[in-house]
């Protein structure tokens, strides 16, 4: 692919895009030179690790909630066993779960949190990792939430706090990536503006998933009337579609941060960037997930009941921030080719519709 230089109107070959490994190396170098980028994820992890635990145990152990579970029982032995297992799960969940995890709202998994992905995860809530509440050296105050309305209100407030963390964190990374790569982009503006657009992006994505989920699960319910296997197939299709959509939205946040564009435009350009260089984007996502998840296993080895957890929190913050910077570097590099593609597309449309072009 070539382009025309506006100065001498000679056709030249554009610079080749950076490889995925080169972008990853640049991301780690940027974070190594600016360790202040680790402050936000470390603070978030400390809040989840040592801060007050927001417990929903009173709600899950209430008589009304247990009565609603008991109403699910039928005469079949399988259903009764399922309800008993569900009751045990909710009991354990009420004992260990911390509602503060809502400070990292899905699918905006920024700023990265080791406590959110390990200790505060559903796996740990089920008892797969130790409960630090029972150890005197790490005793934390517990705040009980007793009503569904309170759960909804607190979750919404925590989500807003999490979006604030997101805005500060991504803004800092955006500035440093532009500074180090010397790319001519507007760059991020004030955190309030960024937080508002991240909120609109979050609402847009959640509405998309809600609409898609309703359609797919309705079809799954209809398919289950024919055969149980068809219902499982429809559920697998739904989760495959969610993964496919998230893959195409990977550059929406860098677009909002680095170019100051609206969420819809950021989503559109993210889809175009992903489709234009799909194999490299897929390689980027796979590498990021492998490094992130693989090292999460290492960072979660320190016992959360001891102060050794500082090692895991610091290491996770560094690697996750470097991977975030990698996505920003990759986005900025591919952005040059997107602009050339849009100019070529506009020229073709003008040639195909000369009257409209005039």
CA distance 83 to 44: 36
CA distance 133 to 352: 68
Q: Poorest-confidence range of 109-113, 235-239, 280-284, 349-353?
A: 349-353
Q: What is the torsion angle, in degrees rounded to the nearest 10, for the CA atoms of residue 352, residue 356, residue 357 and residue 358?
A: 130
- For residue 6, what pLDDT is reported? 38
- For residue 128, what pLDDT is reported? 41
- For residue 70, what pLDDT is reported? 64
* Partners of residue 4 on adjacent β-strands: 11
- For residue 29, what pLDDT is reported? 94
Compute and round to an integer the Cα radius of gyration of the chain.
24
Does residue 126 have a pLDDT over 60? Answer: no
98 contacts: CB under 8 Å, gap ≥ 6: 48, 53, 54, 55, 120
Q: Which residue has the higher pLDDT, 89 or 248?
A: 248
Does residue 31 have a pLDDT over 90? Answer: yes
Does residue 277 have a pLDDT over 90? Answer: no
- For residue 218, what pLDDT is reported? 77
Does residue 17 have a pLDDT over 70? Answer: yes
pLDDT classification of 148: cutoffs 50, 70, 90: confident
State whether residue 235 is helix, strand or coil: helix
CA distance 260 to 188: 6
Average per-residue pLDDT for the chain: 77
Q: Poorest-confidence range of 97-106, 255-264, 279-288, 330-339?
A: 97-106
| Angle, vertex CA 292, rays to CA 250 and CA 200, nearest 5 | 30
Supply φ then ψ for residue 143, to 5 degrees. Answer: -110, 120
Mean pLDDT of 3-25: 62
Does residue 121 have a pLDDT over 60? Answer: no
Mean pLDDT of 49-64: 77
Buried b / exposed e over 115-124, threshold 16 CB at 10 Å, is bbbbbbbeeb
Q: Which H or E run contains 156?
A: helix 148-181
CA distance 199 to 191: 12
Each residue of 180-220: pLDDT tens digit? Answer: 988 878 878 788 888 898 888 888 888 888 888 788 777 77
* Partners of residue 143 on adjacent β-strands: 54
Does residue 272 have a pLDDT over 50? Answer: yes
Does residue 138 have a pLDDT over 60? Answer: no
Q: What is the torsion angle, in degrees rounded to the nearest 10, for the CA atoms of residue 301, residue 304, residue 305 and residue 306?
A: 70
Buried b / exposed e over 44-66, threshold 16 CB at 10 Å, is bbebbbebebbbbbebbeeeebe
CA distance 188 to 164: 14
Q: Poorest-confidence range of 128-142, 173-187, 202-216, 226-240?
A: 128-142
CB 257 within 8 A of CB 171: yes
* Partners of residue 144 on adjacent β-strands: 55
- For residue 73, what pLDDT is reported? 58
Mean pLDDT of 35-52: 88
CA distance 208 to 217: 14
CA distance 172 to 257: 10
Mean pLDDT of 296-313: 78
Q: Which residue ranges make up each domain of the chain?
A: 17-56+97-331
CA atoms in the 13 A half-sphere facing the CB of 175: 12
Global pTM? 0.78
């Amino acid at each position: 692919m070539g382009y025309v230089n506006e100065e001498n109107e000679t056709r030249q070959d554009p610079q080749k895009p950076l490889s995925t490994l080169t972008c990853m190396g640049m991301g780690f170098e940027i974070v190594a030179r600016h360790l202040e980028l680790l402050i936000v994820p470390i603070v978030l992890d400390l809040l989840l690790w040592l801060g007050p635990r927001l417990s929903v145990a009173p709600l899950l152990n209430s008589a009304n909630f247990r009565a609603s579970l008991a109403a699910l029982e039928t005469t079949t032995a399988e259903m009764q066993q399922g309800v008993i297992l569900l009751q045990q799960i909710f009991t354990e969940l009420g004992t260990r779960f911390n509602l503060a995890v809502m400070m990292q709202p899905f699918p905006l998994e920024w700023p990265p949190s080791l406590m959110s992905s390990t200790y505060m995860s559903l796996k740990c809530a089920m008892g797969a990792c130790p409960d630090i509440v029972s150890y005197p050296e790490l005793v934390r105050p517990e705040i009980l939430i007793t009503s569904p309305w309170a759960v909804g209100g607190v979750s919404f407030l925590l989500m807003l706090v999490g979006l604030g963390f997101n805005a500060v964190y991504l803004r800092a990374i955006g500035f440093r990536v532009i500074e180090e790569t010397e790319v001519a982009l507007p760059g991020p503006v004030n955190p309030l503006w960024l937080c508002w657009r991240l909120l609109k992006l979050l609402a847009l994505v959640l509405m998309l998933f809600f609409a898609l989920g309703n359609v797919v699960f309705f079809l799954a319910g209809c398919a289950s009337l024919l055969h149980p296997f068809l219902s499982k197939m429809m559920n697998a299709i739904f989760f495959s579609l969610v993964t496919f959509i998230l893959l195409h939205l990977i550059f929406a946040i860098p677009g909002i941060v680095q170019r100051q564009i609206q969420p819809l435009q950021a989503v559109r350009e993210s889809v175009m960037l992903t489709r234009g260089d799909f194999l490299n984007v897929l390689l980027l996502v796979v590498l990021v997930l492998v490094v992130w998840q693989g090292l999460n296993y290492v960072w979660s080895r320190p016992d959360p009941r001891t102060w050794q957890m500082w090692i895991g929190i610091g290491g996770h913050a560094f690697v996750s921030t470097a991977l975030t910077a990698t996505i920003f570097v990759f986005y900025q590099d591919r952005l040059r080719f997107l602009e050339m593609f849009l100019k070529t597309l506009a020229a073709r449309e003008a040639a195909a519709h000369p009257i409209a072009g005039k």
